[in-house]
Chains A and B, each alone.
Chain A
Amino acid sequence: ETGVTQSPTHLIKTRGQQVTLRCSSQSGHNTVSWYQQALGQGPQFIFQYYREEENGRGNFPPRFSGLQFPNYSSELNVNALELDDSALYLCASKRGLEETQYFGPGTRLLVL
């Protein structure tokens, strides 16, 4: 167990809708990252938050946005869902500049 939880575990949405995915990190983990993993691929970095500020972003459009809260929880929001957004979404957390990230079990999103 990594101490990182995600909700919901599965979600089905239709194209054009909006979705919010949630992540709860271990106490003291002030850095959270979100990754998208398409079927059969490795995870791709979406963005990272440190102390509630975005401090790194991958090659994802602005309709992917996030929030990090003082209680070590965070959200990933995706607007105007597209079919290609269907994937496993993983959050990972760590303390500051530590190198090891701890992953949650993921939320599997299906966009129809």
Chain B
Amino acid sequence: SQQGEEDPQALSIQEGENATMNCSYKTSINNLQWYRQNSGRGLVHLILIRSNEREKHSGRLRVTLDTSKKSSSLLITASRAADTASYFCATVPSGSARQLTFGSGTQLTVLP
């Protein structure tokens, strides 16, 4: 079963705009990670935020984590057509064997 849900399921924006995707999850976690997937191929790790962190940056990416609300957001600034992909949040539940539990993903389309 899926741990969480991404919102929105699909997002279409113009190049240069910012894209924000949200993720909610159900159980306590060790960390939360965001992955990107192009056209049903392998996933690429983008960023990891630990349960004791509130915000993290990597290049054009900004991730926030609110453990009290069991939610996270991914912001991609100054989007490019090459950012078009599916984005998934994945959690490592507390006490697990460190397997990832994925949400259902957001399909981002950046129009040139």
* Interface positions of A (Cβ within 8 A of B): 2, 4, 31, 33, 35, 37, 39, 41-45, 48, 55-56, 58-59, 88, 90, 92, 97, 99-106, 108
Contacts and interface: CB of A to CB of B under 8 A. Distances in A.
Contacts, number: 70
B48 A42 contact: no
Contact of B96 (A37, A56, A97, A108): A56
12 contacts: A33-B100, A41-B104, A42-B88, A43-B43, A45-B99, A99-B98, A100-B45, A100-B48, A102-B45, A103-B42, A104-B42, A105-B42
A31 B90 CA distance: 18
Contacts of A99: 30-31, 33, 48, 92, 98
- Top 8 nearest A-B pairs (CB, nearest first) are A56-B97, A42-B102, A105-B42, A103-B42, A103-B43, A45-B99, A43-B102, A42-B104
Interface of B: 1-2, 30-31, 33, 35, 40-45, 48, 88, 90, 92, 96-105
Contacts of B1: 44, 59
A56 to B, nearest CB: 3
A66 B96 CA distance: 19
B1, B2, B90, B97, most chain A CB atoms within 10 A: B97
Nearest to B86: A42
B2 A48 contact: no
